[in-house]
């Protein structure tokens, strides 16, 4: 099999070999090459020490205790005169000395690192067999733990003793689920049993690391199956325990599943690849259990679940250490996911909806709605949703925020001869409400006239 190798990693390996050292491509890139899928993370392992590696590259940096020298794509391109666009200039190549690791008292990092002598020795410290293969640029491979066979059998199997691997770094527990979700693989029986036994160790891992791995999982093709595996192994009870409370909560009307299954299926059907949107989709009904009420012939109702649920969903996003911006996105998508459409809605009402949700969130909330519909047992779309999307598209060209108005605060102050004050903001808000209702009023002439009228009151 002929592999399409990244030009930058090829130059790095060749440079090390010309200097008399061993050098191998390792990790996820080898796995992805064998699976014939795009590889993005390029790691090299070598018997050269950091002090021997650094002089070979004109610009690199090394400031860690684990023997990793990093070289940026832009510097590799410049040093070796590679054509522009041939490599990703923003990528960081990791060049790591063969090493053996000892002791993991914090269940994350080795207490001691000793330089190794062989690539096989280095591969022994890695997590799963499919990530413990090494390759030369000519296609020669080292596969001491049967990673290639596990790839063919679509299995995630720990290198060596699975209990030891999960004890060393508890984040591997979640990483196993994520890689299985990414590739559509199963987890080998003994590896799964060891994983489940070590789940409590996740409590000793920082939420930054858990959150980053969780968002990677949500971005995978089989994210819904990953969440199911998280529930089955006890991981979900640590990461998002609120979701487990939705199990067996029955729903009425068009729903064919309980709230939990509906949430999983909504995630599966979500059309957005964005993990933030997928998280919001998974959590959109998170507070239905807390607001559920039995009401006559309609069965159970969940009044205002989106209001309370938005707050809970944001707390989950905070726990997972998402950025403030992404926490707010999760809140907004859950808060307004219950939008309705009626053909009698005015254009102004459509514009108000867009303003409420935010222009930047419009496509995301539609993706959530599609997931919500399919997860309920309905078709992907309906004439109402299709018509609303069309009308939203038409209104996106109309004024939707203060910055879209043909007048600004400076002009208001100049027209009225006043200094910055609360009154300026009040006048702008009044004018904006008028043009939201009737966008034809968004002209310099009309707005200047109204400023003078409002300023005289």
What are the extents of the domains in the chain?
Answer: 7-147, 283-398, 404-455
Write the pLDDT tens digit of every residue in 124-144: 989 999 999 999 999 899 999
The first and second tokens of residue 153, run together, are 């059998």
Q: What are the φ/ψ torsions at residue 51 (nearest 5 degrees)?
A: -65, -25
What's the chain's Rg over C-alpha atoms? 28
DSSP 397: T
- pLDDT of 1 above 80: no
Helix (H) or strand (E) holding 68: strand 68-72
Q: Are 140 and 132 in contact (CB under 8 A)?
A: no
pLDDT the model gives residue 22: 95
Distance CA 300, CA 291 (A): 10
Q: What is the second-level CATH architecture of the domain 7-147? A: 2-Layer Sandwich (3.30)
Please give the distance of CA 423 from its chain centroid, rounded to a whole number. 43
Distance CA 48, CA 60 (A): 15
Q: Determine whether 134 is exposed, middle or buried from the number of CB atoms within 10 Å of its CB (0-12, 13-18, 19+).
A: buried
pLDDT the model gives residue 301: 75
Structure-token match 């029986």, residue found:
189
C-alpha distances (whole Å) from 121 to each of 7, 124, 151 are: 27, 5, 21
Write the pLDDT tens digit of every residue in 224-266: 999 999 999 999 999 999 999 999 988 876 778 899 999 999 9
Distance CA 83, CA 96 (A): 26
pLDDT the model gives residue 108: 57
The first and second tokens of residue 421, run together, are 């004050």
- Considering the chain, what percentage of its residues have pLDDT values greater than 70? 95
Q: What are the φ/ψ torsions at residue 102 (nearest 5 degrees)?
A: -135, 135
Contacts for 78-85: CB closer than 8 Å, 24+ residues apart: 79/11, 80/11, 82/7, 82/8, 82/11
Q: Which residues pair with 44 in a beta bridge?
A: 25, 95
Average pLDDT rounded to a whole number, residues 298-319: 90
Average pLDDT rounded to a whole number, residues 406-412: 90
pTM listed for this prediction: 0.84
Write the pLDDT tens digit of every residue in 411-445: 989 988 898 989 888 899 889 888 888 888 889 98
Distance CA 400, CA 439 (A): 9
Q: Are 262 and 269 in contact (CB under 8 A)?
A: no
Helices (H), 234-343: 235-239, 241-244, 259-269, 275-283, 288-291, 305-319, 324-335
């Amino acid at each position: 099999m002929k592999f399409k190798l990244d030009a930058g990693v090829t130059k790095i390996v060749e440079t090390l070999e010309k200097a008399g050292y061993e050098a191998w491509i390792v990790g996820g890139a080898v796995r992805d090459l064998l699976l014939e899928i795009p590889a993005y993370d390029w790691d090299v392992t070598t018997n050269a020490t950091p002090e021997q590696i650094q002089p070979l590259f004109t610009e690199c940096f090394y400031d860690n205790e684990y023997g990793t020298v990093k070289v940026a794509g832009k510097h590799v391109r410049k040093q070796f005169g590679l054509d522009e666009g041939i490599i990703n200039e923003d990528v960081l190549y990791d060049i790591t000395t063969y090493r053996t690791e000892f002791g993991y008292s914090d269940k994350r990092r080795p207490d001691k690192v000793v330089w190794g002598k062989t690539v096989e020795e280095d591969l022994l410290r890695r997590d799963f067999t499919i990530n413990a293969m090494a390759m030369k640029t000519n296609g020669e491979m080292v596969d001491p733990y049967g990673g290639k066979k596990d790839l063919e059998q679509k299995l995630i199997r720990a290198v060596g003793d699975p209990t030891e691997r999960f004890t060393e770094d508890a984040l591997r527990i979640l990483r196993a689920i994520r890689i299985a979700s990414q590739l559509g693989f199963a987890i080998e029986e003994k590896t799964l049993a060891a994983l489940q036994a070590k789940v409590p160790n996740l409590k000793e891992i920082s939420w930054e690391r858990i959150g980053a791995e969780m968002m990677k999982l949500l971005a995978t093709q089989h994210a819904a199956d990953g969440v199911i595996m998280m529930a089955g192994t006890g991981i979900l009870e640590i990461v998002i325990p609120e979701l487990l409370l939705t199990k067996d909560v029955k729903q009425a009307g068009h729903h064919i599943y309980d709230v939990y299954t509906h949430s999983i299926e909504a995630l599966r059907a979500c059309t957005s690849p964005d993990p933030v949107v997928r998280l919001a989709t998974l959590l959109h009904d998170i507070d239905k259990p807390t607001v559920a009420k039995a009401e006559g012939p309609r069965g159970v109702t969940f009044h205002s679940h989106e209001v309370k649920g938005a707050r809970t969903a944001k707390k989950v996003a905070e726990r997972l250490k998402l950025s403030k911006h992404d926490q707010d996105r999760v809140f907004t998508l859950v808060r307004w996911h219950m939008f309705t459409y009626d053909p009698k809605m005015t254009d102004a009402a459509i514009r108000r909806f867009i303003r409420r949700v935010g222009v930047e969130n419009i496509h995301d909330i539609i993706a959530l709605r599609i997931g919500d519909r399919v997860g309920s047992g309905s078709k992907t779309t309906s004439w109402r949703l299709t018509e609303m999307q069309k009308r939203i598209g038409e209104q996106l060209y109309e004024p939707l925020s203060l910055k879209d108005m043909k007048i600004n605060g400076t002009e208001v102050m100049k027209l009225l001869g006043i200094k910055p004050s609360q009154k300026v903001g009040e006048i702008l808000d009044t004018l904006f409400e008028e043009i939201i209702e009737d966008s034809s009023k968004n002209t310099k002439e009309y707005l200047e006239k109204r400023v003078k009228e409002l300023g005289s009151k």
